Amino acid sequence: MATLRKRNNRWQVQVRNQTYGSISKSFHRKADAQKWAIEQEALMQSGQWSRTVNHETRLLDLMIKYRDEVTPKKRSHSREITRINRLLTEPVMQLPIGEFTSARVAGFRDKRLPDGPRATEYDLVLLRHAWNVANLEWDWSLGPNPLEKIKFPKTNPARDRRLMPGEFEQLRAASTQISYHNLWPIVELAIETAMRKGELLSLRWATIDLEKSVAFLRRTKNGTSRRVPLSSRAIDILAGIEKTSERIFPIGSDKLRYHWDQLCQISEIEELCFHDLRHEAISRLFEMGFTVPEVAYISGHKTPNQLFKYAQAQLGRIQLRFAKNIE
């Protein structure tokens, strides 16, 4: 299916095909644009079409193809689709790929920065990966990636937010006012197991062995499976949940976030993200005396270096040991 429109005294034509995706090109004459569209559609229908990217193929076409073919294979595809759809509204998306230079990228970066360095970084990472995929897997021959030559914005350092004294009790009390009755079990289980939100929501009764005190995660953020040891409190939490579905917590990520925001608002707790519960859990494990390899086994961190930021949790215990040695 072809669409035609006049823009800046040139005729832009776009051809969409379920198999080959979207292609576009600009012409000075309407007749040339129509002729090109008919030729491309005929080649696509016969199965003889192959992509030859020219300087007039738009950045928009690249990102649409990436969204439709690459993003659905990712675990966080729904969130990334939302990000790409927002990105497609940017004026820079209308640029021909041949004009998307490092200077243009830097200009887009600087224009986007007021919306936040993290959001800007997400957009740049998506664009960089899409360009690389097009070069390596789609044979688009785009040339050097212009995003490799620019500086990405500096993002805020990793969060180290923990529960303050009394906040656990405030959250528990506020949870009685939340309509989703399993919100508190999710919160408490997050603190007991150090699981990520997605891992908690993926739990199924069939993957829980209460007798052996272990939960089996088929797929984690790292792309691997792992077994999570369950504390006695975690077992009590799970034992108290009514089985209404194959999933222990049959709720979506967005809905859980909505209830979590409600919980924080009712309890009047600020600047606390759900992921901070994982930091709280890991910090508690160190405070209990677990070693770095043991904590890595529980939390699923692939390398010990990723746990060094939690060293602060061990500071008091280390100082106590030094004091004992001095005595």
Q: Which residues are catalytic?
A: 196, 221, 275, 278, 301, 310
Q: Any idea what DSSP says for residue 58?
A: B
Cβ-contact 276, 264 below 8 angstroms? no
- Give the C-alpha distances (Å, rounded to integers) separating 6 from 11, 146, 172: 4, 29, 60
* Residue 291: exposure state from Cβ atoms within 10 A (0-12, 13-18, ≥19): exposed
Q: How far apart are CA 150 and CA 44, in angstroms?
A: 37
Cβ-contact 126, 133 below 8 angstroms? no
CA 250 to chain centre: 20
Which residue type occupies 47? G
Q: Any idea what DSSP says for residue 150?
A: S
Structure tokens at 65: 């193809």
Cβ-contact 256, 262 below 8 angstroms? no
SS3 259: helix
Residues in the chain: 327
Q: How far apart are CA 106 and CA 124, in angstroms?
A: 10
HSE (side-chain half, CA atoms, 13 Å) at 278:
18
* Residue 43: exposure state from Cβ atoms within 10 A (0-12, 13-18, ≥19): middle
Q: How far apart are CA 131 and CA 144, in angstroms?
A: 9
Cβ-contact 214, 227 below 8 angstroms? yes
Which residue type occupies 227? R
